[in-house]
Amino acid sequence: MTDYVKSLSPITAVIGTQWGDEGKGKLIDILSAEYDIIARAAGGANAGHTIYVPDTENPDKPTKFVFHLVPSGILHKGKIAVLGNGMVVSIPSLIEEIDTLKKYNIDLTGRMLISDRAHIVFEYHKKIDGIEEAQKGDKKVGTTLRGMGPAYQDKIARRGVRMGELLEFDKFAEHVRSTFMSLQRLYKDLKHDIDKELEDIRKMLGVIRPFIADTSLYLYNAAKEGKTILVEGANGTHLDIDHGTYPFVTSSNPSAGGLHTGTGIGVNQIKSIVGIMKAYTTRVGSGPFPTEILDELGEVIREKGGEYGATTGRPRRCGWFDAMIGKYSVRINGLTSVNLTKVDVLDDLEKIKICTGYKHKGNKLGSMPAFADMYEELELEYIEMDGWMTDTSKATTYEELPENARKYIEKIEELIECPIQFVGVGIRRDQIIVRS
């Protein structure tokens, strides 16, 4: 792995290419050992990165960590974690993660920075999330109800409250009350004890204030000094507010463009972008999903893959690999390589399908539809491949994989037009194959 990392740029990004939950956390965790700084650019507590850390006393039962805000690379000693300006931060959720890490003797003092420009998610944002979802009836987006959308709405409406304002609490409290009163006029059913929330935040100031900084300047200076930076993506390309299956998307830009705006890193500096793709496809919540498997096989894949949301615990919808989605993500993000994850989940299948194209009303499409209702009218083109019916979880080199597994991987590589550099065959850190 170290030899491969040497081929990457000093500032490298890892991003999701489907609808999130692709397994970004594992590769980020592995690569973090080789980088000085790990930064997040977008999203908030709606994202969940699950890491399994080996237990020396019980190797078969690794310790599970789930990160929602803190970059998961913090598990490596001496690394600096940065929460970028594109994030929206729930202060109680952040405190909870800090406390959880302390229980494992991981102290973030001097090891984490939060952008003074990152916006804050308040409890009233979560209530607004619920109100808006209820109003949509059967057209629900399937939000996590963590307040992300309403917080980003406030940001775009220029009434949002930012982390840097915590440095002058009285002005901060005045701004929060003013914003909340404006929102109460918009949402007649919004009831919330804003004074209690402000008092709760006041009690957390001693923990939070030391972390607040101009993170864009910090990253710029660190890069000038020769420090290496790994940008940790959240969610997935097809949840992107601009490039995803709108309106069934998140409220930020998890695609490559958001890495720059969400961290302040210059657009010419991130030269290596690794995309994470599952060997099949999953989605949480509502929205288009062309290759979804609606029979018992979908349930079989869900159970074998442990496909339940890291943030909400909701069961994920499962489907075949969609090369149209993969190729679109390669193009939109300018991917330089791909990590194909969870190949082992398909070990027991006799036949495996790959979607290779879409038709709409008889016309072959060159890319993803712009409108959600078009997905309901798609005709899908599939190829069917022989499965390998062999345990891949113990393979440590590409050559050790069954021939049919290699054929499957190479067919995906051909269809998406991007090299597959990594192949995941299990949840542990060591269950990843680096192709030469």
Give the active site residues: 21, 49
Name 42's Cβ contacts closer than 8 Å, sequence gap at least 6.
Answer: 84, 86, 87, 233, 234, 235, 252, 253, 254, 258, 262
Instruction: Count how many Cα atoms sit within 13 Å of the Cα of residue 309 in the half-sphere of its side chain.
Output: 20
CA atoms of 318 and 308, how far apart (whole Å): 11
CA atoms of 432 and 31, how far apart (whole Å): 12
Q: Is the dihedral of CA 311, 317, 323, 325 positive or negative?
A: negative
Start-to-end CA distance of the chain, whole Å, equals 10
Q: Tokens 């090891």, residue? A: 111
Query: Is the Cβ–Cβ distance between 82 and 215 less than 8 Å?
Result: yes
Do β-strands 378-386 and 351-360 pair in parallel, antiparallel, or remain unpaired?
antiparallel
In terms of Cα–Cα distance, which of 309, 232, 237, 316 is closest to 277?
Answer: 237
Please tell me whether residue 286 adopts helix, strand or coil conformation. coil
